[in-house]
Amino acid sequence: MPKIKTVFFCQNCGAQYSKWQGQCTSCKEWNTIAEELVEKAEKKDWKTPENRSNVKRAATPLKISEIDSSQEARYRTNDTELDRVLGGGLVPGSLTLLGGEPGIGKSTLLLQISLKLPYKTLYVSGEESQKQIKMRAERIPSKTDNCLILTETKTQHIFKQIEVTEPDIVIIDSIQTLHSDYIESSAGSISQIRECTTELIKFAKETATPVLLIGHITKDGNIAGPKILEHMVDTVLQFEGDRNHVYRILRALKNRFGSTSELGIYEMLGSGLREVTNPSEILISKKEEELSGTAIAATVEGMRPLMIEIQALVSTAVYGTPQRSATGYHLKRLNMILAVLEKRAGFRLGTKDVFLNITGGIHVDDPAIDLAVVAAILSSNEDVPISKDFCFAAEVGLAGEIRPVNKVEQRILEAEKLGFATIFVSKYNKISLDNTTINIQLVTKIEDIVALLFS
């Protein structure tokens, strides 16, 4: 008879306690500690003893100088956006966690990728039946027939099917639906998620098989389960967007094999997700006449330059306290820029409502869009439109100076490729471009922008 032990886990951070208490001492949250039954049983390896000799293991420790540093070949997914975000493809033996809101398209994305892959793929679903997955797959044009569909939630049965089919890539939809016989608690609990993830990590590392997991998120936007889940996996991807819009954005929050600043953009269609190779087509509004309060910024996400549209609305405050609102931009940075405009440029914005929006539903942290934000606010305040052939790429300092930004030459070339006539950058940027048709306007302070745009 196995020994049954009662353990208390924090449902927010995964901290373990021997008895119940009101507040978690790790994350300081109240009423998040719940009781779970954990069975201490002897664990068997996922592999049977007779097949265990095939498992790749490191026999002896090696010196750093003796380790082969050549880059291991990756699995190309035939999806340009996903390969870019991953850093070149799936690494053998890696565990990738994909999180996102319900209905955003996580299952559609991974099913579409599994139908494109030239490798044998096992798609394990604990949420949908095989017929439901078939109905979704019929809408997606597939190039290969190497995708195997399995509806199962017990990890022991999944590993048994893995031994029979021997897939090159495994996809789990989702980690919160799996449960193991070694843990008595219900599926989706802290202990079950941790145990199932540990078993999948052991399988992935020992067989060099990439595993992709889908994870649910909480109402706060964090991946459900213990925080240690994000530490255990190699890559954490966030699939985000507004369900009322057709565009989806894929970001890397953690990546042990590549950059975390890359961005992938998709368009949700009836036939699946379409890769958007030119993001500027969705981030810049199509309009026939020039309107005040809009400016184009040249930003960079990872290695990809983007042209985004900044929209601002400045109006007289109806109530006593002026409103400050920003969508896709840090509100504290907006308040700082407004203070700089009031102090250094002499614009009286303290009694006016200011609303700022970045089109396309994306959030941008790049300080290089500061100058475009200034231009959009001043354009709306003066009710003077900015030419649609102008774009901006510079940071604004507290003294009103225009500061240089990195990768400015990439931004200039992207603006030139998209047909812009003039780009405003800092005079302190080192630019060594030759034979460019775009006019590079160098500025040093906010007063220069005001004189060039609104004089």
Contacts of 91 (CB under 8 A, 6+ apart): 72, 74, 75, 210, 234, 257
3-class SS at 211?
strand
pLDDT in tens, 172-226: 998 989 988 888 777 877 888 888 999 999 999 999 999 999 988 876 667 766 6
Contacts of 340 (CB under 8 A, 6+ apart): 396, 397, 398, 400, 446
Phi first, then psi: what are they for 184, rounded to 5°? -85, -20
Contacts of 253 (CB under 8 A, 6+ apart): 230, 236, 237, 238, 260
Report whether the peptide linkage leading into residue 189 is cis, meaning its omega lies within 30 degrees of zero. no
Which pLDDT belongs to residue 13? 75
Q: Give the chain's residues under pLDDT 50.
A: 1, 40-41, 49-58
- CB of 311 within 8 A of CB of 376? yes
Tell me whether residue 192 is exposed, middle or buried, using C-beta atoms within 10 angstroms of its C-beta: 0 to 12, 13 to 18, 19 or more. Answer: buried
Q: What is the DSSP string of 24-43?
A: -TTT--BS-EEEEEEEE-PP
E strands, 321-375, are 324-327, 352-358
- CB of 364 within 8 A of CB of 330? no
Which of 245, 254, 295, 244 is closest to 99 using CA atoms? 254
Phi first, then psi: what are they for 103, rounded to 5°? 80, 5
The pTM assigned to this predicted structure is 0.74
CA distance 53 to 50: 7
* Exposure b/e, 417-438, CB count within 10 A at least 16 = b: ebebeebbbbeebeeeeeeeeb
Residue with tokens 């949420």: 127
Tell me whether residue 32 is exposed, middle or buried, using C-beta atoms within 10 angstroms of its C-beta: 0 to 12, 13 to 18, 19 or more. Answer: middle
The single-letter DSSP state of residue 165 is H
